[in-house]
Amino acid sequence: MMVFLSKFLPLLVLPIGITLILLAAGLIARKRWLLVTAAIWLWLCSIPAVGNNLARAMESSAVRIPAAEAPTADAIVVLSGGRVVAPGPAQISEWDDPDRFFGGVELFQAGKAPLLVFTGGWFPYTPSAPLEGDVSARYAVALGVPAEQVLKTGAVVNTLEESQAVAALVKGRTPPVSRILLVTTAFHMPRASRLFEAAGFTVVPFHVDFNVNDATELSVLDFVPNAAALSRTQVAMREMYGRIVVRLLEWL
């Protein structure tokens, strides 16, 4: 059920899904206004002026700080961000975006916590791929992080499962792990922090992987649709959906 709610149901309420629904409804009902609405909706979702502002709103005005300036904690927790299995018989796992991984390693190397924890991201549409936590832990050790100071969870498919798995992983440790430096994408941080706080942690956010460049100025190109802007709008709306789901789970 959670996989359906977090991975598949959002596809129906994201820009492309809504566009297809409007087009189908317009063709079936023979309503031209529905077709026009679909075109306008897709254009709005595909322009940088909308995508960039939505992404920045989801980032909640967060800023990136150097690892050396971060406060100390009991552990550094790096959330999974997704990897790509490259074509070929070797099935080599490649980075989708390495900012979370390197942010966590930088914090450890700066002496901000004695433990570096990776979550074992697993995705049902790539079932044969290695767990992201396994790959990240191996790379961290290769970069000089002592193996005994690296922890990894089992398979998790969403942020809620990540928070629960990390809580179970560090439960009963001496000294106890209660204050964590949480490393994740800036727009994802508010929802992730809320879930990890619900799991019993004191969360210190460490934002990485920002979607929007700093100090960009509006231009005519910001109203020209492109695939990158559409993708950014999709990501922002998916995060909105995720935050709504978290609130609903809290109320239930």
Q: Is the pLDDT of residue 196 over 90?
A: yes
State whether 229 and 128 are in the same domain.
no
Q: Is the pLDDT of residue 215 over 70?
A: no
State whether 51 and 72 are in the same domain.
no
Residue 216 lies in a domain: no
Q: How many residues does the chain have?
A: 252
Average pLDDT of the segment spanning 84-97: 82
pLDDT at 10: 67
Kindly report, residue by residue over 13-44, the tens digit of the pLDDT. 789 999 999 999 999 999 999 999 999 999 99
What CATH code is carried by the domain that includes residue 78? 3.40.50.620
pLDDT at 4: 52
Residue 218 lies in a domain: no
Q: Is the pLDDT of residue 5 over 70?
A: no
* Percent of the residues in the chain that have a pLDDT greater than 90, as a whole number: 63
Q: Is the pLDDT of residue 213 over 80?
A: no
pLDDT at 6: 54
Residue 213 lies in a domain: no
State whether 77 and 110 are in the same domain.
yes
Q: Which residue has the higher pLDDT, 199 or 4?
A: 199
Q: Is the pLDDT of residue 91 over 80?
A: no
Domain region containing 150: 67-208
pLDDT at 252: 64
pLDDT confidence bin for 138, thresholds 50/70/90: very high
Q: Is the pLDDT of residue 69 over 80?
A: yes
Number of domains in the chain: 2
State whether 45 and 132 are in the same domain.
no
